[in-house]
Homo-oligomer: A and B are copies of this chain.
Amino acid sequence: MLKIGKLTDYGILVLDALAQVGAVKQSTEELATATGLTVSTLRKVMKTLVDAGLVIARRGAHGGYKLARSPQQIRILDVVEAFEGPVALTECSQSASDCEIQSSCSLVSGWMGVNELLMQILSRVTLEDVRQQTLSQHLPSTLLDANQRIRLINL
C-alpha cells in the first residue's frame, strides 16, 4: 500500500480549502462545511497544522485560521512530516532504530539513499501542484536511458 495516513490527507484537504479563500480567515465550522469533515476530526487536524506552523490561528471572537504562507511554498513533505513524523522507510532510517539485525545488515546505507530520494521528491511537490494538478496524470512509461537515469538519481 505505502499509504499516507487519512489525517495527513485531511490536512491537505484543509490547506486546499484555506488556499481557496486566500487571506480570509476561516472558522472551524466554515472549514467543516467546506471539507465535509466533522468538527471533532477537524480539531485534531488543525492542531497538527498549527503546531507545524503551516497555518496561523487566531483565537477568541472573530478568530479563525489562515495559511501561514502561499500554496507554492507549502511542500507535501512538510505536511507529511507534520502528521507522521520524519520520513523513514525502514526502521534503521530513524535515529532510534530498534532493528535487531541492524549490526549484521549491509543494506542500511542503501535504504538511506532511497529514503533521501523520496524525501527530495516529496519536497519538490507543493500544495499548489496538487491543487492545480500540475503533475501530468499520464507520465511516460518508457524507461529512461542510462544518462537520464543517473541524472535523476543524482538530481
- Smallest CB separation, A142 vs chain B (Å): 9
Q: A149 an interface residue at 8 Å Cβ cutoff?
A: yes
In the assembly, what is the distance between CA of A83 and CA of B139, in Å?
A: 25
Complex CA–CA separation, A120 to B118 (angstroms): 11
- With A6-B91, A114-B130, A136-B154 given, name 18 new contacts (CB 8 A): A2-B2, A2-B87, A2-B89, A3-B90, A3-B93, A4-B90, A9-B91, A36-B104, A37-B101, A76-B114, A110-B132, A113-B134, A114-B135, A116-B137, A116-B138, A117-B139, A121-B121, A139-B154
Give the B-binding residues of A (Cβ under 8 A): 1-4, 6, 9, 12-13, 16, 35-37, 76, 80, 84-91, 93, 100-101, 104-107, 109-114, 116-118, 120-121, 124-125, 129-140, 143-144, 149, 152-155
Verify A135–B106 contact, CB threshold 8 A: no
A-B contact pairs, 24 of them (CB 8 A): A1-B87, A2-B4, A2-B88, A2-B118, A3-B89, A3-B90, A4-B89, A6-B91, A12-B107, A13-B105, A16-B107, A107-B131, A109-B133, A109-B137, A113-B135, A113-B137, A116-B135, A124-B149, A124-B153, A135-B153, A136-B153, A139-B154, A152-B152, A152-B155
